[in-house]
Amino acid sequence: MAVREEGSDEEILEEKDASEVQCALVEHVRGIRSRKWTMHLGNVYKVGREGSAADIEVDHPSMSRRQCSLAVTRSEAGDLVLVAMDQGSTNGTFINKSRLEKGVGLTKPLAEVKHLVFGECPNGYKIMVTQGQSKERDRSRSPKQKQPKQESWDDMAASALRMKEATKKRAEEKDSTRHHFAPPTGPSRRERRAAGAGAAGSGGSTKVPGGAGNNPTKAAKASDIEWPEDWR
């Protein structure tokens, strides 16, 4: 008969719970996240002034060397709770604007803890909790890259038909522009060659237009000119 050690089931559950839940104390400076400290479930963390060798050190003159202690654990009902105790600080520790009583521990459901204030430090502090499955949810909710839309066979066929019609239309316009040139006027080159060959075969003399024999008016007028004595 196998012997099982007492409390082994509880240790397994605690290890599984610690791996699934992750907590951190986050510092906000003027509304902007500045630093964070990881808080393992069930561990106690000391808060103190800078240089006090505390687990969580805050650089502000109003802080005490032993400001307070913080821990995140589970209640009997299984809910996450914050356990805090002020260790006698000078300027106090505040949870939701309520000051902790010195030396008296406070247990508060983590869902009801809005923010923490240490002394007179103007920075705000909040405990953030993430579940082990939250990363998978974040991956599933992450925006997917847009895939290029694939055309169907009908769209591709219609596109090819439009391209074919456009090419045909451009070819028709080019042909119509080519045939719209006006034909040359007057006798063609062949007709001019035939006319020249007929004139050469007849053997007649060709009168040059504008000659003296063809213009008697100009010849008569030339006889009326008074020429110089030595030119006659």
Q: What is the pLDDT of residues 128-149, one digit of tens each?
A: 988 764 444 444 454 555 555 6
What is the pTM assigned to this prediction?
0.49
Specify the pLDDT at position 212: 47
- DSSP lists the bridge partners of residue 73 as 81
Q: Where are the beta strands (DSSP E) in 87-225?
A: 93-95, 98-99, 105-109, 116-118, 124-131
Mean pLDDT value of segment 26-48 = 91
Q: How far is CA 11 from the centre of its chain?
A: 48
- 177 vs 18, more confident: 177
Q: Which amino acid is at 137?
A: R
Residues in the chain: 232
Residue 80: pLDDT band with limits 50, 70, 90: very high
Would the pLDDT of 125 be above 80?
Answer: yes
Q: What distance in Å separates the CA atoms of residue 108 and residue 17, rounded to the nearest whole number?
A: 19
Residue 208: the pLDDT is: 45
Q: Over range 78-106, report the average pLDDT.
A: 92
Exposed/middle/buried for residue 7 (C-beta within 10 Å: 0-12, 13-18, 19+):
exposed
Give the pLDDT band of residue 3 (cuts 50, 70, 90).
very low
The closest alpha carbon to 72, from 121, 39, 101, belongs to 39
**What pLDDT does 200 receive?**
61
pLDDT band at 45, cuts 50/70/90? very high
d(CA 67, CA 118): 8
Q: Report how far residue 20's alpha carbon sits from residue 176's, in angstroms, rounded to the nearest whole number.
A: 80
In this model, does residue 213 exceed pLDDT 60? no
Reported confidence tier of residue 56, pLDDT bands at 50, 70, 90: very high
- From first CA to last CA, the distance across the chain in angstroms is 168
Cα 188 to chain centroid, rounded: 70
Q: What is the distance between the alpha carbons of residues 8 and 175, in angstroms, rounded to a whole number?
A: 94
